[in-house]
Structure 1
């Protein structure tokens, strides 16, 4: 059981690090978008590569932080039954949901996007826009990063659920405790 806690903690730490790093892209998005607007309206000029850049930064950020959002329980869900449920019931819902829905869907995303990403890498795909940015293949790789990070966090959720259902909630990593997630959400 201690091993499950260590696995969940390691995965959660990885996704927390990804979230901390890639959240900074939001600052880049704001700066680039602001620059595009100022250039367009104040100087009557624009650059296609800059428009590509803020769209690509947005895509990279939102796909890279998918696992982090799952770690923080920040995904949208209809939870009129989940939120007031006991810790054990939440553990059952997370366990079944991760095994039946989350992991199979992430497998499908990886299986279907792998050829798409590999093809893009094979010819170093760039922007379809004339004057756009090179390196679209890197952005497309974020699809795999998204699916991998979310799948790993799903495995961490399974570990957390098993620990709680096995009566070893004390081994659940601090970041993944239901009571702390609810408290953090209430403060936000």
Structure 2
């Protein structure tokens, strides 16, 4: 079981590395938004390229940080229910969610997404707006990268749930499920 936990940590490494750096896109996004608003408000100059750049930066920020948020437990979940559950039950729900929803969804996106990017690249797809951004394949490629990172994060959580549910007390104690259980126990 320690091997599975080590594999989970190895899978998390690129997700954490890329996600923590991609979070800095928020600073760039804010600068672009302020610049765009300043141009439109004070100089009455609108720019389709700036607005599309904002969308692309926002998309990249979300996609590249999604797996990182999932690993950290910062993603959306129904705390009303999960906060009352034992760590064991949460591990079972995580295992089922990864098996039935997350990993199949990621797999489908990766299978069909590669063609989506390749076609966009081959046809030199650009914005529908004549003054918009070119090279639409870049943001589509970021989408595939983000989904792949989410897949790595989901696989890591899947392995961690298996370790928690079937491992020894020592290895199970090294998982995030055990850490979450200690946090809940300290609140009561």
Kindly provide the CA deviation profile for residues 38-73 of structure 1, in whole angstroms up to 9, marking residues without a partner as x: 011111112221111111100111111111111112
Question: How many angstroms does 1:180 deviate by?
Answer: 4.4
Query: Could you say which residue in structure 1 is the equivalent of 2:44?
Result: 44
- The separation in 2 between residues aligned to 1:7 and 1:49, in whole angstroms, is 42
When normalised by structure 1's length, the TM-score is: 0.87
Instruction: Determine if contact 2:165/2:172 at 8 Å carries over to the other structure.
Output: no
The alpha carbon displacement at 1:169 in A equals 5.6
Please say if 1:145 is aligned against 2:164.
no
- TM-score with structure 2 setting the length: 0.87
Aligned mates of 2:173, 2:139 — CA distance in 1: 32
> Hey, which bits of structure 1, 4+ residues long, moved more than 6 A?
none
Q: In the aligned structure 2, how far is the partner of 1:181 from the partner of 1:74?
A: 13
Does residue 155 of structure 2 align to residue 155 of structure 1?
Answer: yes
The CA deviation at 1:168 is 3.4
Partner of 2:60: 60
Where does 1:11-90 land on structure 2 (aligned, <5 Å)?
11-90=11-90
Q: How does 1:125-136 map to 2 (within 5 A)?
A: 125-136=125-136
Please, what is the CA RMSD of the aligned residues? 2.0
Structure 1 stretches of 5 or more lacking a match? 184-188
For structure 2, the 5+ residue unaligned runs are 184-188
* Distance 1:52-1:87 versus aligned 2 partners, 3 A rule: same
| Number of residue pairs the alignment of both structures matches | 182
1:178 aligns with 2:177: yes
Per-residue CA deviations over 1:137-174 (Å, capped at 9, x if unaligned) read: 01011221122111111110111111111233644696
